Amino acid sequence: MLETVKEWLWWDRLWLPANVSWSDLEDNQGRVYAKASHLYAILPCALCLLVIRYLFERYVARPLANVCGVRDRIRTPAEPNPILEKYFCHQASSPSQADVRSLCKKTGWPERRVEVWFRRRRNQNRPRLRKRFSEASWRCAFYFFAFFGGILALYDKPWVYNLREIWAGFPKQTMLPSQYWYYQLEMGFYFSLLLSLTFDVKRKDFKEQVIHHVATLTLLTFSWISNYIRIGTLVMAVHDSADILLEGAKVLNYAKWQKTANGMFVVFTVLFFITRLGIFPFWLIHCTWVYPLELYPPFFGYYFFNVMLVVLLLLHIYWAFLILRMLYKCLFSKVRLFLKLAHISCFVAPLRLILILCLYSLGCFAPAVGR
């Protein structure tokens, strides 16, 4: 039974173009190809990154927090109360007014005291400022080195400047050492984020982050096995570029450098729209959706790869609205005279930008890529 499932799972026609089999991707004549067995190194790589992260947060991020004056707020703990604690853990952390009155009868406390208890109890679960500073510092440092490491690995490759070169000889494309290490570090990092979910700061977009990490790992795993490595490295570099500024803005915000953080967040927003809502869909997805059909008929792996890219694109669109809302709060929350105008432009301008990019890409971008 397991043998049958394995044969079906690794069926050539699922993952490779017509007239190509896994035997064609065996190492020979000095050509080295990516293999599924290489992915076993991801787990030790993730564990090493977790150790490096612990050392970084302890010996780099914490001293940096001291230099920047980042201090945890002193929070008054909620006084022990089994009735309220049971309600908090099993029902809701923010009770309705009717529930507050019911709890007052059970505990004999006045409403004000119950409300204060729930506020203090919620504050106990909120992550400390220094912890958030340390996590953001680690991610900023990793994305910085990963992005510039990717630039060093890609700057002299012909497919960076002519996307049609991505499919030259596909899938019989030899693997380069720089591509191997770039993939291992990126996949190890995202796998380490999944392993650390239980003790990391839980953000509002927690579910979306989990979906993003799983989709990214699935996409990278498939691209590695099926030798979509060239396009995979470009996707990783495009994503890392904006993340540096996002995490850097968080670090500055936690350090109370508000104006600098706001300025960096504005730059991040512009770069996010250029890379993830511009380059990613109109160059990279266009490249994976259109150019392969000029070489071979579509197959399951072709559809699977493009669907995973679209999943990432949908997450980017969702985050784009969150980013615009945050940008609105940062820049326009204190401007009363033009509040309504800013509220309208906050939503209309990005839509207009996306529409212009769509129309322009149809007429100019796609043909220009192949030149």
Which parts of the chain have pLDDT scores under 50?
A: 334-371
Residue 133's pLDDT is 93
pLDDT score, position 11: 75
Q: How far is CA 255 from CA 2, 63, 144, in A?
A: 55, 13, 19
Q: Are 56 and 142 in contact (CB under 8 A)?
A: no
pLDDT at residue number 26 = 84
CA distances to 158, 353, 354, 366 from 361, in Å: 22, 12, 10, 6
Backbone φ, ψ for residue 90 (5° rounding): -110, -10
DSSP string computed for 278-330: IIIIIIIIHHHHHGGGGTS---HHHHHHHHHHHHHHHHHHHHHHHHHHHHHHH
Rg (CA), the chain: 25
Average pLDDT, the chain: 82
Residue with the two structure tokens 């890609």: 154
- What pLDDT does residue 191 have? 92
Can you list the domains of the chain with their CATH numbers?
A: 30-66+129-333 (no CATH), 82-125 (1.10.10)
Amino acid 342: pLDDT: 34
User: pLDDT value at position 333?
Assistant: 58
Report pLDDT for 14: 78
